[in-house]
Every structure is written in C-alpha cells, then in structure tokens.
Structure 1
C-alpha cells in the first residue's frame, strides 16, 4: 500500500500532539510533584490521583505513534534531528545559566557538563532528557523500519507486529521482566522503534477506519480503567509497593497502554477540524509542544520547581485534586508554550531549519558525487 495520498494538514493528529504534551506535565505533577507520595495509600485522594495517572500515561506512546504515522513513506531528513538537538542544547544551556545565577552556591562542575551534553548517559542512567535520548536512537533506526514497512506485505506486517507485541509488550509485562532487551519499562530506544513501526502500520493500512470513534474511545477508557484496577489489586495484596512506583502493568510498554495509545490515536485521527479558530490555536501550540517538554522536564527545573511542589493537592477532596492537577498541568503547558514561541521566532529569524536543510542537501550532493 502507498503512503498517505494527501498533503492536507491533519489537524486531528496535531491536536493529539498537543493533548499528549499536556498530559506529560500532569504525569510529572502526580509523580515527581509529590501527590502520590503525600497521599495516604488507598485513600480516596490516592486512588483519584492514580485514576488520573492511568488516563494520562498513554502520552509518550501517542507522541511516538504520531512520529511513525507522519514519517511513514517519507525520506529521512537528518536536518530535522539536528534542529531538535540544537533546541535541546538551547534550553539546556539557557536553563543552566539561569540556575547558576539563581542558585550559585549549589551549581557544580558536574551540572555544567549535564547541561552541555544533555542526551548522554550519566552514571549509567538516562539524563533528564531520556525521551530525546530514545528518540535519537529511534530516528537513526527509522530508515530501516521504513524500508520494512514499504516492502512487507500484509501477512508479513501482521507477523512482525504480533511478534513485537508479544516479545516487547506482553511477555515483559506478564513476567514483570524487561531487562532482556533493555526495555527499561518503555524508556528506551527499542520500545520507541516498536511504537514507530506501529505508527507506520496505522498509516499504511488506515487502521483508524476499522472502527468508529466512539468504539476507539471506549477501548481507550477500558484499557486505562483496567490498568488502574490491576494496580489496585496488586497493591492491596502487597505484591507491589505503594506510592509512585511504576510497575509492569503501569508503564509505557504495558499492553494496556500500548493498545490504549493506539485507540486514542485513532480517536483523534478521525476528528475532522474545520473551524478557523480551532485551527489557529492548533497551529500555534503544535510546533511548540517539544519545547514544553524541554523546559519543564529539565533536571534543574524539576529539582528546584517541580519536585514535591504539588504535594498540597493530596490534601484536597478528590474532585479538587483532579481539577487542580489538570489546571497546574495546563498552566505549565501554556507558560512553556509561550516561552518556546519566543524561541521559535528567534530560530526563524536565524533561519536555523532552512540552513540545516541546505547543509544536509549540500552534503548529500557531495556524497553522491564522491560515491558515483
């Protein structure tokens, strides 16, 4: 089958990109923000926080699914990765400088190198920008995934997909063991490659057309509720620890969040957005979504401004807790979006993307001439 036959902008997918990035700070507010740690285990506040968490943990999976869907059938352009890397360095260095002036006594030489090289390993663990680290690996492997997607027939794609699902999602979750392929609960390159391939399949076979939107939405809701219920049972039986501890049924590679992410993707893919005001909002927020992640999930921002700063929400009634967490997440999203909008204007003025695209084209031409 061929790639998408239309060049018309898919605003439903852009909207999902925005919603997914809005979900990310909500996850961090509940987890690193201290809500789950401050709430008494099995209290109504604790369970409400976990319920909200269960519905937003699909965010990362959806974001990578979008990448696979969008880039299926397209030539890999490395200037896109270079542009993102420059954006990462921009915020890493800028935030490092700001933290130095705000907390000079606590700023050490080690933090300097973490700011300059934000995507490398530090003491055997991912840096704060683990998502981008995994994304880089996935991007470099994506040309080979695209080759497979372009050449496999329907039967081959089905066999590959089921194999990936069983090996990288189902078995690691059921056995609670993901070390064989260094999956790291979905925080690694291999899982991103699985999601990228799946996103390509969603495009190639137009899976989103197989069911109506209300049925896809129901699948998403059921998957999230099942994840919450399984966690509750395992935790109440003492099989897993209480608090903010992601486990096999409550991490990115869980079959429930894998299927739930696919279902939510299909919901938004089927949305037809035509109103000019909605399109204008989407056009503003979609390009700055990555900046929201880079700003609020920076290790220094997390340490000084996010860690345990939202524990007060755990002492509110359940409705106020959920609304408060969503409102705080929305506030972070909007604030970071406005900051990244300024960065976007600077990059446009400097013609960063076009210059990198031209550089890649020149290098490609020189390679062609040399190899021929």
Structure 2
C-alpha cells in the first residue's frame, strides 16, 4: 500500500516511546553506572546484567524507527527540530548553572559557552547529547528520504532496504568493521537515516500486519537472546574483552538489534489501547520523554550523578540487583519526567512551539514571495 493513511493517534506507538525512554536510564545504570564492570565476569550477576542490557539496548533504534514511521508522508517542519533544540539549550544552560553552585571548583567558564552549542562538543568528559546530534543530521536529510519513500515502488524500496541492510548492518557486523562509512557503532547520522527510512517503510507497507503480535514478540525475544549468547561465546573464546565492551554483535547497527527493534516496534504498533486511564498516563509521559534523556544523559550531570555510582548493585544477589537496577532506572525516569513537565508548562506559557512554527511559516512566505518576484 503506497498511499498515505490518516488514522487516530497510535497510543501503542506512544507507549513504545515511553517504554524506550524508560529503557535508556536502565541501560545507563548498567553501563555508565558501573554495574556490569563491577560484576565478576561470567558470574550470575554479570550474565544477568548483560541479559538486561541485551533486551534494553534496542531502545535507541526503536526511538528513531518511531520518527520515521510518524513522519512518513508528511512535509518536513523544521520548527519541530528547533523546538527540540530549545529544550536542549534550556537544560544545557540550567544544568551547568546548577552544577556550578554544587561543584564550584569543577565547573569552569568553558562549560558555560559549551552549553550554548552543546551538540558541537561531543568528545571528552563533558561531552553532550550524541543522540540529538545524530538526530539533527537525520532530520535535515529526512526530506530526501521522504522523497524516495514517496516515489519508489515496492521493488525499488526492497532493493534499497536490502542494500543498506547488507552494507550498513550485516557486513560491518560480520567483519567487525562498525567504523566503516563513519557508522561509529550506530552512534551517528548515517545509521539514524537507515532507521528513519526503515520506519517509513513499515508505515508505507503496513509491515506490522505481516505477522501476529505474538510472533513479532517472539522475533524480538529470540534476537535479544541470540545477542546475549553471541556476546557470551565471544567473551568465553577471548575474542572480545569482558566488561562493558560494545562489540559488533551488541551495538545498535547489529542485525539482531536492527531486526529486534523492528519486531518490538511492530508489537507495540499492534497494541490497541482504549482504556481512558492508560491513555491519560500516555498523554502525560509522551511529551516529556525527550526531557528524561536531556536531563539524565547530560554529560556534566552524568559525570557527577551517574558514572560508576551504582557499582554497589553488582555485589547484591541477582534478584536484588535486577530489582535495584530497574527501580533506579524507573526513579530516574519519573523524576526527570516531573522536572520536564514543569519545563513543558513553561514552554506552553511562552508559546515556544507556536512562535517557532509562525517564524518558519513567515520565512517560507517571504522566501517564496522573493522567488516569485524575481522569476
């Protein structure tokens, strides 16, 4: 089906957006928080921590797939991007000012001016927002991707999809060349464009209807278990180091995480949510998801409050460790959501989104008038 469909809001997709953002702080507790590196390699705690990581690392892929799905068939509106950028600037500046009061000797002048343009400083201890940097590049390229999605037929789409899958996912994983084409393990623009295109294909061809929900769930589970098992084998054979080491088989562009992300997306796409209380919760958390990322993954903030701060969980029994990791991740998610709810109210009061939308419309109008007057 190549036509653009109109339908009611997909609350299942919104729920996936929320679940994916909940997965992110859990992944960070396991990784940056020091749980995996503090556990004894091949111990029950170590393997359990990696099992959690394997199932939750798919979150970023899902987030970008959602963007491609949602924006399929729509005109690119750049005010959406600048609204997100306003949020980035808001938290970058607020956080560095707050940390200056808390740690005056460790926050210098350079952190202030770096906070003004955070996406251009992605290296070093106080690096910021690699996800948003990649997202910006993807968004700027999205009109070209949308053009292809609009005009390609099924055969062309299949050819493009198989080509990018083989070149940018399968071969780099098999040959452990995840830096080829500047893929950077999936932490970059190119991989986000692949995911965006894939999300558009899911929408265009109703891929989620190809299997029943339980089969999509099974595909996701199998892919994640295979990722965990392959990592275990590679570590056992000393082909990769133990600890929190991302290999070609457990990074974002791995075919297992690519396919697993698609499967998990299709699971939630097929979820039909009608209960009013559930819809109310989804409506509350959906607009504040991005703020959860901006607050807790700010590298300055993470340096003081996340890095190696949860290593103690690795010394607990496995069940307590799992509960602790999930509860801390949930606590980060809820607390950051409440903070961003206040920011959301402020932005609504200031009419940030509508002002940026009007600004974009005025710029387009003046530009078109200029072109028409000179044609």
Contact 2:125 2:299 (8 Å CA) reproduced: no
**Cα shift at 1:218:** 0.2
- Mapped pair 1:84 → 2:80: no
2:161 matched residue in structure 1 = 161
Cα 1:12–1:343, aligned 2, differ >3 Å: closer, same or farther? same
Stretches of structure 2 that go unaligned for 5 or more consecutive residues are none
CA gap 1:156/1:124 in 2 versus in 1, 3 angstroms = farther
The equivalent residue for 2:14 is: 14
SS at match of 2:119: coil
C-alpha displacement of 1:265: 0.1
Distance change (3 Å), C-alpha of 1:34 and 1:123 = closer
Alpha-carbon offset, residue 4 of structure 1? 4.3
Q: Secondary structure at the match of 2:233?
A: helix
Could you state the TM-score of these two structures normalised by the residue count of structure 2? 0.97
**Structure 1 segment 94-243 matched on structure 2, within 5 A:** 94-122=94-122, 127-243=127-243
Query: Could you tell me how far 1:320 is from its partner in structure 2?
Result: 1.4
CA separation of 1:123/1:20 partners in 2, compared to 1, >3 Å: closer, same or farther? closer
Q: 1:126/1:136 Cα in 2 relative to 1: closer, same or farther (>3 Å)?
A: farther
RMSD: 1.2
What does the per-residue CA deviation read over 1:114-137, in whole Å, with 9 as the maximum and x for residues that have no partner? 312110045599932000000000
**Correspondence for 1:282:** 282
Report the counterpart of residue 75 of structure 2 in structure 1: 75
So what's the TM-score if we normalise by structure 1? 0.98
- The number of aligned residues is 372
CA displacement 1:225-277 (0-9 Å, x = unmatched): 00000000000111101101101001000000000000000000000000000
Alpha-carbon distance in 2 for matches of 1:173, 1:211: 26
Match of 1:335 in 2: 335
Q: Any conservation in 1 of the 2:126–2:300 contact (CA below 8 Å)?
A: no
Q: Distance in 2 between matches of 1:110 and 1:34?
A: 28
- Contact 1:145-1:197 within 8 A present in 2 as well: yes
The equivalent residue for 2:245 is: 245
Deviations 1:266-292 (CA, angstroms, capped at 9, x unpaired): 000000000000000000000000000
SS class of match (1:363): helix
State the Cα distance separating 1:6 from its structure 2 match. Answer: 2.2
| Alignment partners' CA distance in 2, 1:7 and 1:234 | 46
Q: Which moved more, 1:301-310 or 1:269-278?
A: 301-310
C-alpha distance in structure 1 between counterparts of 2:280 and 2:123, whole Å? 44
The residue number in structure 2 matching 1:41 is 41
Segments of structure 1 that go 5 or more residues without pairing to the other structure are: none
Structure 2 Cα separation of the partners of residues 244 and 281 of structure 1:
34
**Cα distance in 2 between the residues matched to 1:181 and 1:127:** 23
* Matched residue, 1:323: 323
The aligned counterpart of 2:370 is 370
- The CA distance in 2 between the partners of 1:47 and 1:284, in whole Å, is 35
CA contact (8 A) 1:3 1:72 kept: no
1:95-148 deviation line (CA, Å, top 9, x unaligned): 000000000011122322331211004559993200000000000000000000
